[in-house]
Amino acid sequence: DFNSITAENDMKPQSTEPAYGQFNWENADKIADFCRSNGIKLRGHCLIWHSQIGQWMYQDEKGNLVSKEKLFENMKHHIKAIMERYKDVVYAWDVVNEAISDGGGGQGGRFGMRQQSGPYRNSPLYQIAGD
């Protein structure tokens, strides 16, 4: 017997808001409606992730990294929208996915990010926000 569903890819930022203010709730709504109809708890996954996230979150129109303030503004915009939409059915959220580096060194690696000696993944989000 299962009593919880994790939305997985359909609630990630790239799926729900591929461009600023352009929301696509279709697949996430289907999962949420299924959970509502069947009395199943829904775990939201995930609010922020370095991988499946629109570049609008951390880059300006010219491809430059945005300021820390702009990044946080964009994050708040996205998080508020999705949490408000599913507040009646999601019992928990995975907030930041894979912030800790999975090892390796040098340049390149998965997603073309440089690894660093510290514990955090050296993503554009980390480069802007820092510790």
| Mean pLDDT score of the chain | 86
CATH of segment(s) 4-129: 3.20.20.80
What is the C-alpha to C-alpha distance for residues 4 and 42, in angstroms, rounded to an integer? 6
HEC per residue, the chain:
CCCEEECHHHHCHHHHCCECCECCCHHHHHHHHHHHHHCCEEEEEEEEECCCCCHHHCECCCCCECCHHHHHHHHHHHHHHHHHHCCCCEEEEEEEECCECCCCCCCCCHHHCCCCCCCECCCHHHHHHCC
What are the pLDDT digits (tens) for 55-109? 999 999 999 999 999 999 999 999 999 999 999 999 999 877 666 677 654 444 4
What contacts 94, CB < 8 A, 6 or more positions away?
A: 43, 44, 45, 46, 47
Q: For the chain, give the percent of residues with pLDDT over 90.
A: 60
Output the pLDDT for position 114. Answer: 52
Average pLDDT over residues 35-46: 94
Average pLDDT over residues 118-125: 80
Output the pLDDT for position 4. Answer: 92
Can you give the residue ranges of every domain in the chain? 4-129
Q: For the chain, give the percent of residues with pLDDT over 70.
A: 83
Average pLDDT over residues 22-38: 97
Q: Look up residue 65 and give its two tokens.
A: 């990294």
What is the C-alpha to C-alpha distance for residues 70 and 78, in angstroms, rounded to an integer? 12
Output the pLDDT for position 108. Answer: 47
Q: For the sheet containing 4-6, what is the strand order? A: 4-6, 41-49, 90-97
Average pLDDT over residues 21-37: 97
